[in-house]
Amino acid sequence: MKHAPVVFVVDNEVIISKSLALILQKHGYAAYSYTDPLQALEAIHSDSPDILITDVVMPQLSGIDLAIQMQARCSSCKILLFSGQASTTDLLENARKQGHTFTLLSKPVHPTDLLREIARL
């Protein structure tokens, strides 16, 4: 029997992280919400995610830095970034220069678009 894909949703806005996790749970994913990217990193010791969905701009650690660290610890983890800020382009470009390519969705992200991107991963 195939296990439900494990998804970590990380956004410092609790309503966003919890809402997206709930939507994913209703569609058969084992989704967990985090408002602290460092907690999400710590959580991979007990449950490695198949997919990380993270906001880019967060106070403790950028979503791009979180994605890079997550992939270093869990190489098969797929990454999906989302952001509502224009400054994200520079952060993504710096990550590309370091050899990391991530998909970016714009906030607010519609659940249908999110599910389509996850399926594409």
Rounded to two decimals, the pTM is 0.89
Question: Residue 90: is its pLDDT beyond 90?
Answer: no
Please state the domain count of the chain: 1
Give the pLDDT band of residue 86 (cuts 50, 70, 90): low
Asked if the structure places residue 1 within a domain, the reply is no
Q: State the CATH number of the domain containing residue 109.
A: 3.40.50.2300
- The tokens describing 67, both together, are 């994605």
| Structure confidence by residue, pLDDT tens digits, 42-58 | 999 888 999 999 999 99
| Domain contains 58 | yes
Report helix, strand and coil shares of the chain as percent, to nearest 5: 40, 20, 35
Range(s) of the domain holding residue 11: 6-120
Residue 79 domain-assigned?
yes
Q: Residue 100 pLDDT > 60, yes or no?
A: yes
Mean pLDDT for the chain? 90
Residue type at 107?
Answer: K
| Residue 97 in domain | yes
| Residue 118 DSSP label | H
Domain presence at residue 82: yes
Residue 41 scores a pLDDT above 60: yes
